[in-house]
Structure 1
């Protein structure tokens, strides 16, 4: 088994048993909320005008934007008859219009044990990103749903709209602890069965999935959701402070292994880590899945602005 295989198998690779987790009492203080208002203002400026038109659905109804004609049928509302077309073609045609709907945005937060390993910064960072993007969606009158996932859907905050509902999201995220194993493929099968309305599905995860990170993303793609991957990474995991004979373990399964850590081993391990990150990005890019690497060392608001600049979140 090569180093990359070891890396994929262990959700907390080269970690010394007995590491502790620090938990923040409040992630969403007044300073955080002030930054949210700024981000919402920026989003309205960036995504106003022509780009907002992309949010229209393909179905037709009684909106204001003309879409197409169809033949008149008994019982149709005669107010939508196109008399100009009748004069030209001697046919009764009904004018069809596009409906504009609020966008359904689903936040899928990975709450497996690996997200809280060490000092827990990955989970805290992921929660801030979820809250910030959810607030932007609420400010734009989108319909927001938040779920937590391990090898199942472990929690769900029902769909909500309006900026004032952000405090409901805060409460839900505060209560989300991290435990259990990762299997996003199985969790996403449950997710698509529970949510019939298609929309943008934002996966916020470190993607340490022994069964393969690809499965969960593919389940969403095949079921007509639009995946958006926020890959939460902690660069310190590529450079663990370990030397000599140590016992490493998988924080999700409890599997242990004796390892002799040398400078050469750490170098090869760091290379395997970088190769894995590149593999994830290649997979997403090759399937036109929006992908963004969310480094815990970068402030959440700076990351959100980068997401805005790159595009792909709001429609």
Structure 2
């Protein structure tokens, strides 16, 4: 959630006229995140988030908005897109596709405790269950093909040791086929900054713009890698155990998933190392742009390569 496209008060007021919302009070750009332009918007009848989609495929946007609506109607705590007076949820602002969603209560936590990790594990399993009835399909835009192509693009830009690590890891993961594992709708980016808490209670999950259909286990690996590692690249065993146990209490893993777990954890770590490396070497222009440190996910990947996976039990 960064600000790449500026919006004026006059432009936003005209945009909001399409919606059954009250008078605009104020708005503010959101600096976190790396993909879309986001603003907090306050009106006389509520608090909202305006998103301008910067790089996402326009044809994919109904999937993301439809999924949020689907999950919210099944009592998953996530934003619900606001429909315009014509019933549509997708509009345009400053030449970019745009949407309004309701703003949820709570705040993200930088250093989650065990109870919060347990709650996040439960939420992920509940989302996977609720997503089974979502009828739309969308491939993972950051899947194996993207990982290979992005690594190839980055290898000439990085130092020799980094290039060798990327090449070796890609070779190691060629034996991993996520399509052989149980599939479903996944969030694919359920990081700490995408889950809001009120105390230890979840207020909501946000930022569904990487959601897709892929291996459910991959979604668990993405979440564990963010929530259960310290900044120095070492895992927190108590947090990992709480998250995995809570998830498995609602969805038990198959034997194939248990066997694939080591490489799936590494694939999830590689995906975010690559995306951060890309943003580091090919930065985008914009106000309040937030570029995350790629070294964090290199440390996570190297931990798995040196020590093996976090236990599933």
TM-score (norm 2): 0.25
TM-score (norm 1): 0.25
Q: Going by fraction, where is strand more abundant, 1 or 2?
A: 1
Structure having the higher Rg? 1
